[in-house]
């Protein structure tokens, strides 16, 4: 008897992870998808509320795992109150890492996600990282994820597969995918703003990148429509 494939989606409550959750629902079926969210001491707790709301809308089981080490380490704008996120979109020629980079975050998240998946008999882990969505984060690159997948398989003697459906998509492409997989209603409850503002600030790099993607796709952002935020 063939085992039904199941998937665990890393759900941050943001645009990309919301899209990936609905992609997984399409690919694996609603009964075979779960979500995991990490409480890593992020400054903007609204992310956790958004992830919870989106999981409810999608009708999937959600597990929230606490990881407070990143907050203890600090040194970045997402966990350290003394550091303000950089504003404005980054130049493609800028090779310096932005101050919103949390060193090792995706490596740790996916390791814990794979461990949770292992305990539940799940062999597929889905994450919304993308190397074409320019942020300069080295842990969003395909070669990093391939190396991590191999390490996880060897280290847990498992057949875990890391899925990155957005890896080579532009932000406009991810908006179109969100439409295709029926994620737009949930997108209205997603959170992307680096400043943690609702409505979104429209000034930070993340807000600008999101707005550019929706504009290029010719689609109104459901979050902006719901909150009356910056277009």
Q: Domain map of the chain by residue range?
A: 7-227
Can you tell me the mean pLDDT for 100-116?
A: 86
Per the CB < 8 A criterion, the answer to whether 216 and 187 are in contact is no
Q: Mean pLDDT of all residues in the chain?
A: 88
More confident residue, 155 or 72: 155
pLDDT given at position 27:
98
Name the binding residues for Zn(2+): 193, 201, 204, 207
Overall fold of domain 7-227: Rossmann fold (3.40.50)
Binding-site residue numbers are 11-21, 193, 201, 204, 207
Confidence of residue 17 (pLDDT cuts 50, 70, 90): very high
With a cut of 60, say whether residue 120 has pLDDT above it: yes
pLDDT tens column, 170-224: 999 999 999 999 999 999 999 999 888 999 999 888 899 999 999 999 999 999 9
Higher pLDDT, 96 or 16: 16
**DSSP bridge pairs for 87:** 204
Torsion of CA 116, 117, 121, 123, to 10 degrees: -160
Cβ neighbour number for residue 113 with a 10 Å cutoff = 26
pLDDT on residue 43? 72
Average pLDDT, integer, range 55-60: 98
Which band of pLDDT confidence, cut at 50, 70 and 90, is reported for residue 75?
low
Q: Which residues are annotated as a binding site for ATP?
A: 11-21
Please state, in angstroms and rounded to a whole number, the distance separating the CA atoms of residues 202 and 87. 9
Q: Given pLDDT bands bounded at 50, 70 and 90, which one contains residue 72?
A: confident
pLDDT computed for residue 19 by the predictor: 98
pLDDT band at 110 (very low <50, low <70, confident <90, very high): very high
Residue 29, pLDDT score: 97
Report how far residue 60's alpha carbon sits from residue 70's, in angstroms, rounded to the nearest whole number. Answer: 27
CB atoms within 10 A of CB 2: 4
The answer on pLDDT for 71 being more than 90 is no
Q: Is there a cis peptide before residue 199, judged by omega within 30 degrees of 0?
A: yes
pLDDT at 2 over 70: no
């Amino acid at each position: 008897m063939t085992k039904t494939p199941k998937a665990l989606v890393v759900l941050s409550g943001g645009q990309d992870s919301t899209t990936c959750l609905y992609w997984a629902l399409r690919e694996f079926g609603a009964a075979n998808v779960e979500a995991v969210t990490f409480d890593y001491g992020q400054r903007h707790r609204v992310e956790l509320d958004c992830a919870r709301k989106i999981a409810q809308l999608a009708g999937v089981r959600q597990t929230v795992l606490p990881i407070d080490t990143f907050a203890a380490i600090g040194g970045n704008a997402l966990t350290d109150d003394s550091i303000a996120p950089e504003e404005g979109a980054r130049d493609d020629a800028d090779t310096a890492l932005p101050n919103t980079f949390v060193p090792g975050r995706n490596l740790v998240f996916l390791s814990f996600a794979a461990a949770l998946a292992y305990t539940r008999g799940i062999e597929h882990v889905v994450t919304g990282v993308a190397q074409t969505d320019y942020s300069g984060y080295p842990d969003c690159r395909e070669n990093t994820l391939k190396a991590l997948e191999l390490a996880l398989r060897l280290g847990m003697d498992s057949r875990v597969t890391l899925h990155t459906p957005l890896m080579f998509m532009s932000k406009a492409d991810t908006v179109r995918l969100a439409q295709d997989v029926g994620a737009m209603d949930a997108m209205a409850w997603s959170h992307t703003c680096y400043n943690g503002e609702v409505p979104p600030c429209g000034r930070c790099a993340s807000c600008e990148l999101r707005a550019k993607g929706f504009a290029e796709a010719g689609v109104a952002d459901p979050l902006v429509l719901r909150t009356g935020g910056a277009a």
